[in-house]
Amino acid sequence: MAGVLTVSLAGPPAAPQVKCAVEDPRLAELSGLAVASNALWAMSDGGTRVELHQIDPDTCAVVDSRSAGVNPFDPEDLAVGPDESLWVADTGDNERRRDTVAVVVLPPQGESRLHRLTYPDGPHDAEALLIDARGRPVVITKEVGRPAGVYRTAQVPEGAGPTPLVRVGEVTLPSSDTKGGPVGEIGSRVVTGAAVSVDGSVVALRTYTDAWLYPVSRGDFVGALSGTPVRVPLPDEPQGEALAFDRDGTLLSGSESRGATGELRAVPGAVALAAARAGTNGPSAPVRAPEAADEPTPPWLPAALGGGAVAGVLLMLAGAIALRRR
């Protein structure tokens, strides 16, 4: 299991600061954030077409929109490619029944592109996407009670495909006592989003309660995820799924509103914090070799085995059911 860095070299991370309220109904199910070409873009989970909205980072007002002529199945995350293209991760699969998932690319100029992808070991639900320096999508799956799978295409995808994904590693996030999210403690270890800093020096995975920052060496995102992360608590978000880095190294986060008013929040200095602590990590744990596909695990079973109290089991069961909503 991955460790968590506790050496206070640059001080603890700042508490998230509310920048503005996300009140536009088009972003009520905010699930993706990305900074591209000095603009902050956001997207919602769901809908009958891929639609992105540029928002003012100080007011959260929508100032521009872009769309692609694609009817997605379940879009979940937003990432930025090396050419400033915006990549939409149409990778949600709550029932784990899709033969293919997809990424939709909206370049700075020109028509959008659709690339279908296939897993080597059967369907997965995934809400986190990174694009490496070569333009290859890296998908991190959303798992309950077992490690998240890390998948990447061998080459830059071309055409509609489908392009095979290769299992290149897995991630087990440390435990957390941060409060928040829709499903209690079980939600603190499921991956709901990802981001990479503008300079490529840090990648981040988020859960419903925290962001986990991994320093990157030589552009190796997959290798970075085998290291020791720095925790940035993101407490009290109703259903936190969106994550991005601003150009000054600030970490931005957002949440589905779940009937309330959503917020865009910021943690200044997050990239500098992760970089300052990188030298204290020591040897990184190796990425575990890809194994044969796991047998499906009832999502309530690990929680039930880990807690003896009946109340705890019921809480985990309720959490697992909530994760499979929609």
Per-residue pLDDT at 262: 87
Residue 296 pLDDT > 50, yes or no? Answer: no
pLDDT tens-digit profile of 43-84?
Answer: 998 878 899 999 999 999 999 999 998 999 999 999 999 999
258 has pLDDT over 90: no
Domain spans of the chain?
Answer: 17-288
User: Confidence class of residue 11 from pLDDT cuts 50, 70 and 90?
Assistant: low
- Specify the pLDDT at position 294: 39
**pLDDT higher than 90, residue 88:** yes
Average pLDDT over residues 90-118: 96
Instruction: Give the residue with greater pLDDT, 64 vs 321.
Output: 64
17-288 folds as Neuraminidase (2.120.10)
The structure's pTM equals 0.82
What pLDDT, on a 0 to 100 scale, did the predictor assign at position 259? 72
Range with the lowest mean pLDDT among 96-100, 170-174, 306-310? 306-310
> According to the model, what pLDDT value does residue 261 have?
74
What average pLDDT score do residues 120-124 get? 97
HEC string of the chain equals CCCCCCCCCCCCCCCCEEEEEECCHHHCCEEEEEEECCEEEEEECCCCCEEEEEECCCCCCEEEEEEECCCCCCCCEEEECCCCCEEEEECCCCCCCCCCEEEEEECCCCCCEEEEEECCCCCCCEEEEEECCCCCEEEEECCCCCCEEEEEECCCCCCCCCEEEEEEEEECCCCCCCCCCCCHHHHHHCCCEEEECCCCCEEEEECCCEEEEEECCCCCHHHHCCCCCEEEECCCCCEEEEEEECCCCCEEEEEECCCCCEEEEEECCHHHHHHHHHHHCCCCCCCCCCCCCCCCCCCCHHHHHHCCCHHHHHHHHHHHHHHCCC
The confidence score (pLDDT) of residue 69 equals 87
> What local confidence, expressed as pLDDT, does residue 2 receive?
42
pLDDT at 134: 95
